[in-house]
Copies of this chain bind each other. A is one copy, B any other.
């Protein structure tokens, strides 16, 4: 078992392994070798072993991995055994869509509060979730024990929101605003930039070589 720092690419692969293992578990498989896993899901067996070995010895030599055990281990490593309380800042189209997003609702992330600065929205409900004034973010976030923030405001306001959110002590932030943000060192910021993805498609379509 190594004790190096874990690359984000590694944890991303762990997510993928977990999905594959879940699929095998649904099919009733009890054990699986890194080789079978690799061939079935087009992965690399050596890398699977390397990645898993970062976190412990989960496999059994001569046998492989016990599917249910590995699933539990991966869930634990990825922190999917603990619940998180999510606030979404920005009750616009994207924010309201994310509130209902099954990726949140089906996982260990519970959206418990929305924030906006629009007085017409404050006090309303999106589904079962209340919309609060972003001016009272600190107070409300503490009351709801928020530990994850999702930024769904227009780009020019995103940095301000991130600063405010960080001030309250929230350490995990997902940003959907199409702009790079500067976060404090101890804050994990994950930006999902759909604009770049779209423009990448657009570029491809514009190329005559296609």
Number of A residues, CB within 8 Å of B: 56
User: In the complex the two chains form, what is the Cα distance from A96 to B94 in whole Å?
Assistant: 10
In the complex, which residues 176-210 of chain A have their Cβ closer than 8 Å to any Cβ of chain B? 178-180, 186, 188, 190, 192, 194-207, 210
**Closest partner residue, chain B, to A200 (CB atom):** B11
Copies of this chain per assembly: 2
Residues of B within 8 A of A8 (CB): 200
Min CB gap A75→B, angstroms:
10
Residues of B within 8 A of A205 (CB): 79, 82, 84, 147-148, 171-172, 188
Binds B, one of A60-68, A101-109, A133-141: A101-109
Contact code string A53-82 (vs B, CB < 8 Å = 1, else 0): 000000000000000000000001111101
Residues of B within 8 A of A82 (CB): 205-206
**Closest partner residue, chain B, to A204 (CB atom):** B188
Let me know if A108 and B78 touch, CB within 8 A.
Answer: no
Let me know if B200 and A12 touch, CB within 8 A.
Answer: yes
Question: Interface SS of chain A: helix, strand, loop or mixed?
Answer: helix
Let me know if A199 and B78 touch, CB within 8 A.
Answer: yes
Contact for A100 among B77, B93, B108, CB less than 8 A:
B93
Min CB gap A123→B, angstroms:
22
A–B pairs, 30, beta carbons within 8 Å: A11-B199, A11-B200, A42-B180, A76-B206, A79-B205, A80-B199, A82-B205, A82-B206, A93-B97, A93-B100, A93-B102, A94-B101, A96-B97, A97-B98, A103-B178, A103-B195, A103-B198, A107-B195, A108-B202, A172-B201, A174-B197, A174-B198, A186-B210, A188-B200, A188-B204, A188-B205, A188-B210, A190-B197, A190-B200, A192-B197
Contact for A206 among B77, B194, B195, CB less than 8 A:
B77
